[in-house]
Amino acid sequence: MILVTGSRGAVATHLTRMLHDDGLPVRLGSARPEALTPPGPSRPLRLDLTDPRTFPAALAEVTAVFLYASADHITEFIDHARTAGVEHIVLLSSSSVLGPDAENDPLATSHLDVEKALLASPVTTTILRPGSFASNAGAWAWPIKAGRPVSLPFPEAHSDPIHETDVAASAHAVLTEPRHRGGQFTLSGPESLTFAEQIDHIAAVTGRPVTTDQVTRDQWKHEMADRLPGHYADALLNWWESNDGKPVPTTHTVEDLTGRPARPFTDWVTDHTTDFITP
């Protein structure tokens, strides 16, 4: 039995479908299982990774786990997983843990703490470290639909947008191919793109003009104040500034794991066009 945590997320949704298509037994864990409509006979269970009381039932008879966790109760989760007989955990982490000051980076530290706990445990752990998710561009959907400019503090900052389906396919590969067990894999999209280039791709695919407004750091933080704590906003701004005008490195790991190249950003936009045009 494979337990998929965070089952309402995009990566977990795609992964569940892939595992179901393989005919593999899957259990879906979610803090809100009633919100799930799983494929096939998969039965969602309540699994709140902030509440260790939900761990035993979710882990019963499970041999492998796809895990996207905060560090708060990772030790308890590992203990319950060992007791249940879990043999393999695939962790969805972040390439931010590879940064020069990851332990002091709010974007990286939680991922790093989970990695350390798992790697110190006797449970075989495989780590997936995607870079920038293409879905981050979804934050621009509202102003684009409203015909307003997209605020960009660093329009020439680079990222390596990866399609969530490619992350799911990579997770599927390491869950089902024993030769990948115990590896640490950095995932990226196929190319480094600036935010301005991503905006241009969205405009081309949707057929709608998209304008941008270069704002200051403080202006952007003020716009995001209701949705993003200040220390996270500062960490993002620092990351973007460090990549301003500088292409980020990409990998071929998606192709190495799945046998097909990573999908370009335009594929992601095509798959999510309605997000940018539906009122």
Please give the average per-residue pLDDT across 78-102, as a whole number. Answer: 93
Please report how many Cα atoms fall inside a 13 Å half-sphere around the Cα of residue 266, on the Cβ side.
8
Q: Identify the helix (H) or strand (E) that includes residue 204.
A: helix 195-206
Q: Distance between CA 163 and CA 167 in Å, rounded?
A: 7
pTM (2 decimals)? 0.94
Q: How many residues does the chain have?
A: 279
DSSP type of residue 128: E
Q: What is the mean pLDDT of the chain?
A: 93
Kindly give the pairing relationship between strand 158-159 and strand 184-187. unpaired
Domains observed in the chain: 2-130 (3.40.50.720)
pLDDT over threshold 90, residue 39: no
- Smallest Cα–Cα separation from 254: which of 182, 191, 178? 191
CA angle, corner 194, sides to 205 and 184, nearest 5? 100
Q: What are phi and psi for residue 49, nearest 5 degrees?
A: -70, -5
Residue 38 has pLDDT above 80, yes or no: no
Predicted pLDDT of residue 10: 92
Residue of 48, 109, 111, 104 lying closest to 76 (CA atoms): 48
DSSP conformational letter for 233: H
Query: What is the structure's pLDDT at 215?
Result: 95
**Distant-in-sequence, close-in-space partners of 247: CB < 8 Å, separation ≥ 6:** 158, 192
Distances in Å between the alpha carbon of 185 and those of 85, 96, 176? 25, 13, 15
Mean pLDDT of 258-271: 97
Taking the C-alpha atoms of residue 274 and residue 141, their distance in angstroms, rounded to an integer, is 9
Instruction: Give the N- to C-terminal CA distance of the chain in Å, as an integer.
Output: 41
- Average of per-residue pLDDT across 110-132: 96
Give 201-204's long-range contacts (Cβ < 8 A, gap of 24+).
201/265, 201/266, 201/269, 202/137, 202/140, 202/144, 202/269, 202/276, 204/266
160: β partners: none
What average pLDDT score do residues 102-113 get?
87
**42 has pLDDT over 80:** no
Contact yes or no for 45/57 (Cβ under 8 A): yes
Q: What is the pLDDT of residue 164?
A: 97
- pLDDT tens-place string over residues 201-246: 999 999 989 999 999 999 999 988 888 888 889 989 999 999 999 9
The pair of three-digit structure tokens given for residue 236, joined into one six-digit string: 């993002």
